[in-house]
């Protein structure tokens, strides 16, 4: 999921480590979220948006992904099991 964390973090003069400490996670987790390798829980996204005094939608950009969503994949797998 695309996000503006790096931009907002740098505007506030925060390092990844400082932001991680503020929201109770590691610098590595912040890096992974910034580089779109990891999607945070809704609670972590909420905490991050609170640090920046923004709404979640202002920090995280919810766009259609070319990858299948986890929910869609899960529904397909569940249907396959029901069809057996």
Give 10-residue mean pLDDT values along the chain (84 residues).
96 98 98 96 98 97 65 61 67
What is the chain's Cα-based Rg?
16
Number of other residues whose CB lies within 10 A of the CB of residue 20: 19
Q: CA quadruple 13, 59, 71, 42: dihedral positive or negative? A: positive
- Residue 62 confidence (pLDDT): 83
User: Global pTM?
Assistant: 0.74
2 - beta bridge partners?
61
Compute CA 76 distance to the chain's CA centroid, rounded to the nearest angstrom. Answer: 24
pLDDT value, residue 63: 75
What the chain holds in terms of domains, given with CATH numbers, is: 2-83 (1.10.260.40)
């Amino acid at each position: 999921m695309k996000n503006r964390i790096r931009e907002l973090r740098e505007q506030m003069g925060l390092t990844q480590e400082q932001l991680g400490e503020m929201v109770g996670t590691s610098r590595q987790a912040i890096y992974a979220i910034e580089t779109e390798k990891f999607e945070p829980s809704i609670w972590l996204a909420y905490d991050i948006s609170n640090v920046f005094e923004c709404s979640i939608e202002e920090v995280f950009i919810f766009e259609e992904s070319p990858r299948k969503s986890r929910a869609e994949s899960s529904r397909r797998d569940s249907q396959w099991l029901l069809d057996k």
